Structure 1
């Protein structure tokens, strides 16, 4: 786990001091643990459903209530962080996140389990967007894209590393052990974050302190909502489509998800460096336009044998380059209300994921799986048009 963030620093080729490296490693590990909690739920659902004698659909409410609580409460924490500071909220969030995971581990009823995941969603809402914001505050403006790309890669690494590690732990010690482990690590991270962010400033004095109205920020984050629909309407049903329509084996499906995960991390990391060189606005617009094309290609060539691995890698590479560069763009455009902007952006992300999963289910039922990438391409087109029309 330690090798990954160090490798990230080498990939983006930046010169940093020990203090700056500690900032980045802290952000990376914090988002890696948060991401692991988010992504590990899916493979654990069958075991949870079996123990509580419920259907997988009912067990799926664990994800739904978490996402809803996150989406509702993230803007509040963003607003508070812009006025009271981010450090205390992040530390308290990690401490309560640890408690929430401990409650998940000891839940004796499904009602208690649901309650613990609501508490977890509330806790994460005060961590993820504020880590992005505090990294945006701490980084020099000319390095902000790279710094944000590194911490975003921590969240994405959980997709292909953290979740499989949790699944492996379940096989030996049961699913409850996963949440006990997360609770212990979260407690340690709360101490680390308390120490690390003690000397950070709210924002760099050389930045123009431009206040963004709530309406202006909401308009800006609508780009992310359509981006999330384009990405997740397809991703949620990717396994179903590849197995049922492409007849992929378990090993082929695992290779597909791995190719996607590697592409996501690579896209996030490399977009950061390009963003700092040519500007967040240009990169975010260009990558979202490219996303329109790659989703259309997926619609036509998703059954093209081994080529599908390359297409999935390219899709994630371009898609997450778009997301990371847009996060940097928001951090740049709303320096005084950075916490609120990035919190609302994460709310828009979860709204898009929810709408995308609902839309994807309807589309594959009505018109079949191979229609889905083409409709997702249309959602990406809307995202790119809004992004291009926006001005600071």
Structure 2
């Protein structure tokens, strides 16, 4: 049953990641189809992210009260419908509406998969189990999006969304069959139990971490082209190294988390992230070194994200669904702020300074993780023990 649950969780999150990452390379074709500017087409991504960020906490709260299986199943059905609407949208306005529905559906799926894996995983294997399903989402970064691009080449961009809709419909049935376990909680008390501010403080670590990662990643291709004179194939290879590091970092982090501890690994990962970002700033233009650095950057960065997910699952056992949802909202907020922040830094100081600025941001995340989250864990442990 464990292998089946992990397989279903992995495939489901791979599909969710593909839906997120595949839109970017398809934007030029969509822009041409609707005769709108690339900037306007970018609203597909923006509306998706904003909808996700706003609705994920609601689904997390509802799943803590009513169980997770129902919302995951309904979310996958809505995912299929929204992708069909994206494929057949007659106008750009319809297209935007379809991406809003897609953001709503993914918000009902992704954080709840994390939460339900946290529910059913053996205590001494929780980090490993979470790392496996997280790797599904990260694999879409370097595998799902390219597969979508290949499909576009042969059948057109609309076919990409049709295929995802079909897979989503199949997965709705599979997920409904697999997730039979629903955690029983004492609903006579408030699920927040006075912890809302503490939860927000905990997930702020993810927001700052996300800024430190995505402020640089969003402009990675442009900086490789501008500073290193990389060709398109060299940029693709660099992104592949990054994607491989992300997946391996997630999987390795899960095993280390189970052996050493969630708190220790999450804090250590942030510390090494600071150092690697500084090294990227120093050696970014030193030829082939950049491939190794991008691999290490993703290895440490996403290893930290996975261990922190496991850490939150342990620290908030009674609010696991909503905490995972808020953490994913924090991730998307960080991505949005990071993209704007990175653009501001580049416009004013250039690409070369951005890794150093990101290292400072990572240091802020490191400090927050050692203070606020540690305090939350002590209180949570005390409350559970009593």
1:157 is aligned to 2:139: yes
Question: Which secondary structure does the structure 2 equivalent of 1:303 belong to?
Answer: coil
- 1:24 matched to which residue of 2? 6
- 2:311 matched to which residue of 1? 329
Equivalent residue for 1:218, pick from 200, 204, 224:
200
Cα distance in structure 2, aligned partners of 1:352 and 1:79: 21
Deviations 1:234-293 (A, max 9, x none): 000000000011100111101100000000000000000000011100000010011011
Deviations 1:152-181 (A, max 9, x none): 000000011111000000000000000000
**Contact 1:34/1:128 (<8 A) preserved:** yes
1:249 is aligned to 2:220: no
Cα distance in structure 1, aligned partners of 2:201 and 2:184: 24
1:111 is aligned to 2:90: no
Which residues of 2 match residues 1-392 of structure 1 at below 5 A?
19-202=1-184, 211=193, 213-390=195-372, 391=375, 392=377
User: What 5-or-longer segments of structure 1 have no aligned partner?
Assistant: 1-18, 204-208
**Contact 1:212/1:337 (<8 A) preserved:** no
Cα distance in structure 2, aligned partners of 1:78 and 1:191: 21
Cα distance in structure 1, aligned partners of 2:317 and 2:58: 17
Quick one: structure 1 residues 55 and 343, their matched pair in 2 at CA, closer, same or farther if it must change by over 3 Å?
same
- 1:11 matched to which residue of 2? none
* TM-score scaled by length of structure 1: 0.93
Post-superposition offset of 1:332: 0.5
**Contact 1:45/1:59 (<8 A) preserved:** yes
**Contact 1:210/1:335 (<8 A) preserved:** no
Query: What RMSD, in angstroms, separates the aligned Cα atoms of the two structures?
Result: 1.1
Post-superposition offset of 1:210: 9.6
> Which range moves more in the overlay, 311-320 or 242-251?
242-251
Cα distance in structure 2, aligned partners of 1:39 and 1:212: 36
User: What 5-or-longer segments of structure 2 have no aligned partner?
Assistant: 186-190, 378-386
Aligned pair count reads: 369
Cα distance in structure 2, aligned partners of 1:93 and 1:259: 32
Deviations 1:286-318 (A, max 9, x none): 100110110011111110100100000000000
* TM-score scaled by length of structure 2: 0.94
**Contact 2:115/2:321 (<8 A) preserved:** yes
Question: Which secondary structure does the structure 2 equivalent of 1:198 belong to?
Answer: coil
